[in-house]
A and B are shown apart, each in its own frame.
Chain A
Amino acid sequence: MQQTQAVEHEAGTAAPAPAPRLGRAIVLTSGKGGVGKTTTTANLGTALASRGVKVVLVDADIGLRNLDILLGLESRVKHHLLDVLEERASLDDALVPSKYGDTLFLLAAAQSREKDDVETEKMKALIAGLRERFDYVLIDCPAGIELGFKNAVAGADEAIVVCTPEVSAVRDVDRVVGLLGNRFRPQLVINRLRPALVRKGKMLSVDDVNAILRLPLLGVIADEPDIIVTTNRGEPLALRRENPTGAAYHAIAARIAGEDVPVPMPPLSKPSFLERMSSLFGGKRA
């Protein structure tokens, strides 16, 4: 829609300066903590930026920032979000260029401040300003549903909810979808699925989760130790396209960009050697 407007402006010769094409502001949220909001933000940002579009990742978790660590940028942060909101630094000074692409930037959260130091209106204005400069503004929301959540959501026009296949996470996401209200049509990323556990009936399946949430499914990411390693090293897994999880993030990015690619799914139908052996002997492992 925004694109059409810009084209229309160009058509009229006496028209005012064409309105800039606004980027998309997407908040990544979940209610429950530790389900992978920050990991998803870092990886989707990396995958989107590899498509050549301009991406800024905004860490809205004032006081408990982590996005800088996941991008390996913790030593390069000079100014943070509150410095910009309180006009101690310009946006240009605060944006940290990524190590992994010319079009990816980080706006870090303040570490020694509190969530209620942020004024919601200023946060909205900041995101609006970023949308004029970037194609994608991904906002990494803090856990919970307090002021930090409200501020993170305020400037966004789209939402991605991240959920793990656990009853507690599903319940929290359900609550967050309610709180997001009608302004959003949230899309779902199911994170940390363990196909082996799903097969054994010890973990909720994608269908189980979405029978409750009933949201458009953007992607499913498998649980694997690689994520912990890349997180600790500050190298998003999306840098490795040959890795199945890295590839899944690229597929989700393509879907966000509007490409008609299938929802990435970890292979569910591949039983382990041990499971095959036990089924050979007619035993179903409890």
Chain B
Amino acid sequence: MTPRKIVVTSGKGGVGKTTTTANLGATLAKRGKRVILIDADIGLRNLDLVLGLEKRIVFDLVEVAEGRCQLRQALIKDKRFESLSILPAAQTREKDAITTEQFSSIVDLAAQQADYVLIDCPAGIEHGFRNAVAGASEAIVVTTPEVSAIRDADRVVGKISQERKPIRLIVNRLRPEMVRSGDMLSVDDVCDVLSVELLGVVPDDEEVIDTTNRGEPIVLDETSRLRTIYDKIARRLEGEMVPFTNFDGTSLFGRLLDALKVG
């Protein structure tokens, strides 16, 4: 298959780009794909922390760009999976330490040895964003069901559409009980505003805070319902038709059902 180069972006920060990148990457690797995750957030890297690999960093993205090491030397293999590696960002450098051309050629190099290259984009729409998007051939936009996040996502969708790259949407941190009480926008509301194909809906789960702090992506937890959700997202990404879970049910019965069902 042609390797997929996908940027995970959002505009707004803190909506779950890095968590999505780590968990989707881990899920794809579990499904037997060769996956390389690239942290494009130079100066504010976090993907290494979320995967618990921070102590194993030797070289970083900027050093690869500057030719001070080979890509394979900088890649950190996540030993919990068959085929998952990350390329960490530099922590003490700035986003403009790397040009768009340099970044794109590193992504292409990574794509030669992977089925999926996922690029964890920095927040905002500055130089770091432009680099991350330039290197990708498709995009996953992550948003939370909040007015401010959706407005930022809309802006990012506009920018990526200009480059004619396909975009799909993940609605993250949905709280079904708040949607029902009318205090949170529903998935339909979000999709209406953004008019982007929906890739997945991930409910809010406080366990994510803990697993992130411990450097263990939540998909490693066999009991987590998010594991099933990310698996569905990975299958949709691979082209399978997988039905969506409806989190917007209004009845008491629906609520009980929500509590029971996974995915």
Contact = CB atoms under 8 A, between A and B. Distances in A.
Interface of A: 31-35, 38, 63-64, 66, 69-70, 111, 114-116, 142-148, 164, 166-168, 171-172, 175, 194, 197, 202-204, 225, 228-229, 231-232
B146 interface: yes
B85 interface: no
Contacts of B152: 64, 66
Nearest to B149: A34
A166 B209 contact: yes
Contact of A168 (B46, B126, B128, B184): B46
Contacts of A204: 213
B123 A33 contact: yes
Given A145-B94, A166-B209, A225-B175, A63 B125 contact: yes
B255 to A, nearest CB: 16
Given A32-B14, A228-B178, A231-B148, 7 more contacts: A33-B13, A66-B151, A69-B147, A146-B94, A166-B209, A168-B49, A175-B91
Contacts of B213: 166-167, 203-204
B212 interface: yes
Interface string B42-81: 0110100110000000000000000000000000000000
B211 to A, nearest CB: 9
B237 interface: no
Contacts of B146: 228, 231-232
A175 B43 CA distance: 8
B12 interface: yes
B37 interface: no
A144 B123 contact: yes
Contacts of A31: 44
B190 to A, nearest CB: 12
Interface in B113-166: 122-128, 146-149, 151-152, 155
B183 A202 contact: no
B15 interface: yes
A111 B158 CA distance: 12
Given A175-B43, A197-B210, A34 B151 contact: no
A232 B213 CA distance: 28
Given A69-B151, A204-B213, A35 B14 contact: yes
A149 B84 CA distance: 33
Interface in B193-243: 206-207, 209-210, 212-213
B209 A197 contact: yes
Contacts of A114: 125-126
A63 B123 contact: no
A168 B165 CA distance: 30
Contacts of A197: 206, 209-210
A144 B14 contact: no
Contacts of A167: 49, 212-213
B147 A145 contact: no
Contacts of B95: 144-146
Interface string B80-118: 000000000001001110000000000000000000000
B191 interface: no
A146 B128 contact: yes
Contacts of B14: 32-35, 143, 164
B11 interface: yes
Interface centre among B12, B207, B212 (most CB of A within 10 A): B12
Contacts of B44: 31-32, 144-145, 171-172, 175
Contacts of B13: 32-35, 143-144
Given A31-B44, A146-B126, A111 B91 contact: no
Nearest to A208: B213
A31 B128 CA distance: 14
A173 to B, nearest CB: 10
Nearest to A168: B46
Nearest to B15: A34
A168 B212 contact: yes
